[in-house]
């Protein structure tokens, strides 16, 4: 038999429960700033969150100053002006380039860190967009080949005329570095949003997973939500940077095989894995590959998961996300394919 309690008594108990919950929930420290061409938000709990966040902002700015392809005086700019001479790299750039080159090789060149001349020709570095003709593109593609990048110890040699762009992996590295810095400063949970890159340290302060939304590729709103702990979640989407000309949409993710925006059938690829650099590099590479090649790649490299949204509105998710990802709103009825090993 149910016990009968008076309404005021129940309300009082509820209020007590709510205040007790509220008192337990620690306040986050949050800061927002612009870097690497995007808005970044850092949210931290525990330790001296405010000082850790300040160090985090400083660290991202330091990385931007090294890795920016456009800023004169950056290390990458210096590399790109070296005219075939070797350049001594900082430890950050060396580590990131080493990882990025490994991803270029693993993805069979779908990721290529020497795509910069092509990206620039389309106007994505300045916003002065144009559609280069095929003669121009094939001349530029003559300078695209990650296998010609020579990294010996910390000495980098690029053939003259070739240019390096770590834009496809730099935010992933920044996310990874922030996690390391925060953990070292005694921060117990944190989540950072660096444009389309999200990376989390631990779980939420109450022990529950972070909920990360995946943007709908057709403009506003969300396609789905993911529950994660201690992971990087990185999305590459055609909608993130694009322009229209003569009814055609051109986006910033390029197929190194053609020198044109990748038309693989994918409009958005989200990668979920432990490491930010891998998540970032693979989101770009799997966008270039499209669904079939991405699925084949995943079957050979089991250490990550992905969500791929196709231009036909289909959603493909790898097995590891089966219970942690759900579609939202108008996407809830979309065809969802789970890829299994």
CB 240 within 8 A of CB 262: no
Contact between 283 and Mg ion (CB under 5 A)? Answer: yes
Contact between 168 and Mg ion (CB under 5 A)? Answer: yes
Residue list 69-108, contact with Mg ion (CB under 5 A): none
**Alpha-carbon torsion (12, 17, 23, 26), positive or negative:** negative
Residue placing its CB nearer to Mg ion in the complex, 163 or 278? 278
Q: Name the binder of 112 from ligand AMP, Mg ion, none, CB < 5-8 A by kind.
A: ligand AMP
CB of 110 to ligand AMP, least distance (A): 6
Separation of CA 86 from chain center:
30
Contact between 112 and Mg ion (CB under 5 A)? Answer: no
CB 146 within 8 A of CB 154: no
Q: Name the binder of 202 from ligand AMP, Mg ion, none, CB < 5-8 A by kind.
A: none
Question: Distance between CA 162 and CA 82 in Å, rounded?
Answer: 10
Q: Name the binder of 178 from Mg ion, ligand AMP, none, CB < 5-8 A by kind.
A: none
273: nearest Cα among 286, 285, 283, 287 = 283
Q: Name the binder of 93 from ligand AMP, Mg ion, none, CB < 5-8 A by kind.
A: none
Question: Distance between CA 38 and CA 291 in Å, rounded?
Answer: 28
Residue 186, Ramachandran bin (φ over 0: left; ψ between -120 and 50: alpha; else beta):
left
Contact between 280 and Mg ion (CB under 5 A)? Answer: yes
Residue placing its CB nearer to ligand AMP in the complex, 202 or 310? 310
Q: Using CB under 6 A, list all residues that contact ligand AMP.
A: 111-113, 115, 119, 124, 165, 167-168, 236, 252-254, 256, 280, 283-284, 288
Question: Distance between CA 315 and CA 337 in Å, rounded?
Answer: 6
Residue placing its CB nearer to Mg ion in the complex, 268 or 283? 283
Q: Name the binder of 193 from Mg ion, ligand AMP, none, CB < 5-8 A by kind.
A: none
CB of 280 to ligand AMP, least distance (A): 5
Contact between 189 and Mg ion (CB under 5 A)? Answer: no
Q: What is the largest CA-CA distance in the chain?
A: 85
Question: Distance between CA 232 and CA 199 in Å, rounded?
Answer: 4
Q: What residues make contact with Mg ion under the rule CB under 5 A?
A: 168, 280, 283-284
């Amino acid at each position: 038999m149910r016990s009968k309690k008076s309404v005021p008594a129940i309300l009082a108990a509820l209020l007590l429960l709510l205040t007790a919950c509220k008192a337990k929930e620690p306040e986050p420290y949050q800061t927002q700033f612009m870097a690497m061409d995007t808005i970044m938000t850092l949210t931290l709990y525990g330790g001296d969150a405010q000082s850790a966040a300040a160090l985090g902002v400083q660290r991202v700015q330091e990385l931007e100053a090294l890795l920016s392809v456009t800023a004169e005086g950056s290390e990458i700019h210096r590399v790109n002006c070296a005219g075939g001479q070797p350049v001594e790299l900082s430890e950050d750039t060396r580590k990131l380039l080493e990882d990025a080159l490994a991803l270029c090789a693993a993805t069979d060149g779908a990721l290529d860190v020497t795509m910069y001349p092509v990206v620039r020709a389309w106007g994505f570095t300045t916003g002065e967009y144009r559609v280069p003709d095929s003669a121009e593109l094939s001349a530029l593609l003559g300078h695209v080949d990650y296998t010609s990048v020579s990294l010996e110890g910390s000495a980098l040699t690029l053939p003259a005329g070739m240019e390096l762009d770590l834009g496809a992996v730099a935010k992933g590295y920044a996310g990874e570095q922030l996690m390391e810095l925060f953990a070292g400063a005694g921060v117990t949970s944190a989540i950072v949003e660096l444009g389309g890159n999200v990376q989390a340290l631990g779980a939420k302060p109450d022990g529950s997973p972070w909920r990360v939304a995946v943007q709908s590729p057709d403009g506003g709103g969300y396609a789905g939500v993911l529950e994660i702990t201690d992971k990087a979640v990185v999305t590459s989407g055609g909608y993130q940077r694009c322009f229209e000309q003569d009814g055609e949409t051109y986006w910033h993710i390029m197929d190194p095989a053609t020198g044109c925006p990748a038309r693989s059938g994918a409009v958005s690829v989200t990668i979920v894995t432990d490491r930010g650099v891998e998540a970032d590099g693979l989101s770009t590479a799997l966008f270039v590959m499209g669904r079939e090649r991405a699925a084949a790649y995943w079957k050979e490299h089991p250490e990550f998961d992905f969500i791929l949204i196709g231009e036909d509105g289909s959603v493909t998710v790898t097995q590891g996300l089966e219970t942690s990802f759900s579609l939202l709103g108008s996407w809830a009825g979309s065809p969802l394919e789970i890829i299994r090993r």
